[in-house]
Structure 1
Amino acid sequence: MEDGTPSIRDMLAVNLRAARTARGLSLSELSRRSGIGKATLSQLESGGGNPTIETVFSLSRVLEVAISDLLDHRAGGALTVVRGADVEVLRGEGVDLRPLRRIDAGDGVFEVYDQVVRGDAPQQSQGHVGIEHTVVQTGSLRVEVAGRTVDVGPGDYVAFDACEPHCYTALEAPVHSVLLLQYRADERLDGRPHPVLPTGR
C-alpha cells in the first residue's frame, strides 16, 4: 500500500483482536457464533488469510461493531483525497468493495465505499448493524430486503435497515454504486457501549 497505509489484513488483525477482547470472547466462542473456523480466525488475527466481504460482515454482526471498526485506518487532515486505484478491494461472492472513508459526525458514524456489483453471483448478507444507503451510478441493481424486492438504476437511491437479511443482484452488470453505511455511535445489536479500539496503528 502507498504511504505506509496498512493493508486490510493488517488492520483486521489489530481490530479483530481488540474487538474480540473487548467483548470477552475466546476464539472458540467467536468461531461458534460466527460460523468461521477457529483456525481461520487465528490466521486473521495474525495478519494472514484472505478476508472476504462475507467474513468481515459476519464478524461485524457477531461482534456488534461497525465495519470500519474492523477495517479502518484513520487519517486526519484538512483535505482528504482517496484514490480508488490505491485502495485494496474487499471481494465477496458478487461484490467488490473499496473502503474509502470513515466519518465520525457528532453521535453518528458513516462509512463510504465504492461498490461494484459484478453480476457473477448474488451478494447475500445475513444482516449487520447500521442503515445501508446505496446510490446507483451505472447498471441496474435488484435489492432484496426481508422479502421485499426493488429494482434501481442510474441516479436511483435505496436505503434499508441493514440488520435485516438482504441481497444485491446485478441485472445489468457491472453495477457501479456508492455505498454509505450509517451508524449511531451507540448502535449495537444489544445496546452495549462501543468498545474502545486502538487508533494509533
Structure 2
Amino acid sequence: MVLQGMVEWEEWEWEEQVQAMPCLVELSLNNCKLTCVPPGLASNARALKKLVIDHVQNLSYLENFPFVVELRVHGIPDLERITNFPNMQKLTITKCQKLKVLECIPALVRLVLEDYAMEKLPEYMRYIKPMHLQLFCRPWLLASVAAGQSGLEWDKFRHVEHVKVYARARGRKWYVIYTSGDTGKFDSNISSSTVFEDDV
C-alpha cells in the first residue's frame, strides 16, 4: 500500500485493539504531516516486512514494530528516535539530521546512511552493531574515516565488520573500504595529503 501526496494529513487514528490489514506486507507513507504512526499498525499488521517513510513533516519517532525487517526513512526533518525494531535487518536513513537515538535493534545487519551535510558520524553508531555500514557523505567526513585508528571517528565504526564510505569532490568519486577482523584491510583512493578545501 502506498499513501502518497496527502499533504495535509496529520492524524491517523488506529487503536491496538482494532484489527485490520493482517496481510499487508509493504507500506509506504509519502509527503504528509503525520505526527505519529498509529500503534494499531505496529501491533496488527503482522505480515508487514517493509516500511518506507518519505518526507513526513511532523514525525518525531518510530517505535515498537516487531515484524518489520526493512525500514527506509528519507527527508524527515523532525525524526529524533527509532526504537524497538527487534527483527529489523536493513535500515536506510537519508537526510534525517535530528535523529539522535537508534536503539533496541538487535538483528540489524545493514545500515545505510546518506547525508551530504553530515559533519561527523552520529553518536548512536557507538551503541548499534550492524555487520555492514554504507555511508554517503561529504569528503571531509570520508577523510576522517580514512584516518582509521588515528581519526576522531574510529570509536564509532571500529566494531562494524564491513564499512564502505563514498563521497564526491572535484569531479571525482572518493571511497574508503574497511574490513575488520584478523583479515582486516583498509583501502582508499585518498591519501593523508588530500585536502578538500571547499568542504571543510
TM-score by length of 1: 0.31
Higher RCO (C-alpha 8 Å, min separation 6): 1
Larger radius of gyration: 2
More helix by share: 1
